[in-house]
């Protein structure tokens, strides 16, 4: 094999490798999984209405059965809503305790970054309650220095 053909083969292989790497990077960006859009907030009674509609169709409920099942579903929906609110309250308290415990372990810049992160998460949670917003996790400013 001559030196020219050997070098040409190495060059072609290297070019193929580089082209594949470039295509892989652009392909990964183009086809990266995107988070689903946030769900709009549900109206009060929406869950029980949705279940009742589905059950009426799927189980062929009579009007008498619908009238007896509907208040049960509404009661359960109220209970689930209370559980959800209690869980949110407990989770918030847990995160606040964690932040209070972590704060003394951080330097001034890290404390500032954590405070910024907390504000961002509060804004995100507020937006979610109103039906908007996205995922702000791990999108804070980068820390400078060691």
pLDDT for 61-97, tens place per residue?
Answer: 999 999 999 999 999 999 998 998 899 899 989 999 9
Q: CA-CA distances (angstroms) from residue 137 to 26, 40, 88, 121?
A: 24, 20, 17, 7
Whole-model pTM over 0.95: no
pLDDT for 4-57, tens place per residue?
Answer: 688 888 888 889 988 888 888 877 777 776 666 666 666 677 889 999 999 999
- Amino acid 135: pLDDT: 46
Please name the residue ranges forming H helices in 31-107.
Answer: 46-58, 63-102
- Amino acid 70: pLDDT: 95
> What does the radius of gyration of the chain's CA atoms come to, in whole angstroms?
28
The DSSP output letter for 106 is S
Residue ranges per domain, the chain?
Answer: 1-30
CA dist 70 and 140 (Å) reads 46
- Amino acid 30: pLDDT: 74
CA dist 124 and 130 (Å) reads 10
Q: How far apart are the first and last CA of the chain?
A: 53
């Amino acid at each position: 094999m001559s030196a020219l053909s050997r070098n040409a083969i190495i060059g072609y292989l290297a070019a193929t490798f580089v082209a594949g790497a470039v295509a892989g990077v652009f392909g990964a960006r183009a086809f990266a999984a995107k988070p689903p859009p946030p769900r709009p907030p549900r109206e009060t009674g929406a869950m029980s209405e949705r279940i009742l509609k589905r059950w009426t169709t799927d189980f062929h409920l009579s009007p008498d059965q619908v009238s007896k099942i509907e208040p049960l579903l509404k009661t359960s929906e109220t209970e689930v809503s209370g559980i959800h609110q209690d869980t949110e309250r407990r989770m918030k308290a847990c995160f606040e305790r964690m932040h209070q415990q972590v704060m003394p372990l951080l330097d001034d810049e890290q404390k500032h970054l954590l405070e910024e992160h907390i504000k961002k998460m509060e804004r995100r949670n507020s937006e979610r309650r109103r039906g908007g917003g996205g995922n702000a996790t791990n999108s804070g400013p980068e820390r400078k220095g060691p």
